[in-house]
């Protein structure tokens, strides 16, 4: 699922050809998030810069930027879902009509009644879905 890929948590490994593509994708994501890291940790006031550097210290050390990727997904998941479903028709639905709280969801155009993305399984570990 796209959220797991963005956050660097996708468990699917695939065959050898897919492994090559996955490595290429992961390398590209590291480059992209490296640029985002550079952007958010420079050019800020000293206090903000230090706070961001402290928050993403481990990301800078290991180069995977997992915390930054998680934060990016939290901030952008609704926009990503909107882009994915921009051509959804009125009667198109996500895979079920009610969410885990039994609230009506995906009533039309692959959206919940309140406009939230129906990706309520984002934070369920992938192997449990």
Domain check: are 54 and 2 in the same one?
yes
Domain check: are 41 and 12 in the same one?
yes
Report yes or no on 123 lying in a domain: no
Domain check: are 35 and 65 in the same one?
yes
Q: Which stretches does DSSP call E strand in the chain? A: none
Stronger pLDDT, 116 or 64, i.e. the higher one: 64
At 112 the pLDDT is 64
Report yes or no on 30 lying in a domain: yes
Domain check: are 98 and 43 in the same one?
no
At 32 the pLDDT is 95
At 76 the pLDDT is 92
Q: Please count the structural domains in the chain.
A: 2
Domain check: are 61 and 75 in the same one?
yes
Domain check: are 109 and 51 in the same one?
no
Report yes or no on 76 lying in a domain: yes
- Per-residue pLDDT at 124 exceeds 90: no
pLDDT digits (tens, 9 = 90+) for 28-74: 999 999 999 988 887 767 888 888 888 998 888 888 899 999 999 99
pTM of the shown model: 0.70
Report yes or no on 126 lying in a domain: no
Domain check: are 53 and 19 in the same one?
yes
Range of the domain at 53: 1-84
Q: What is the mean pLDDT of the chain?
A: 78
pLDDT digits (tens, 9 = 90+) for 73-98: 999 988 888 887 777 777 776 655 55
């Amino acid at each position: 699922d796209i959220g797991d890929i963005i956050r660097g948590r996708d468990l699917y490994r695939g065959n050898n050809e897919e492994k090559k593509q996955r490595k290429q994708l992961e390398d590209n994501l590291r480059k992209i998030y490296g640029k985002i890291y550079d952007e958010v940790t420079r050019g800020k006031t000293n206090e903000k810069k230090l706070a961001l550097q402290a928050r993403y210290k481990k990301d800078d050390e290991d180069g995977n930027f997992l915390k930054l990727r998680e934060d990016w997904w939290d901030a952008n998941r609704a926009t990503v879902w909107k882009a994915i479903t921009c051509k959804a028709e009125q009667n198109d639905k996500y895979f079920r009509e009610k969410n885990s709280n039994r609230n009506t969801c995906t009533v039309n155009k692959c959206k919940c009644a309140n406009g939230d993305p129906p990706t309520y399984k984002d934070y369920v570990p992938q192997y449990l879905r």
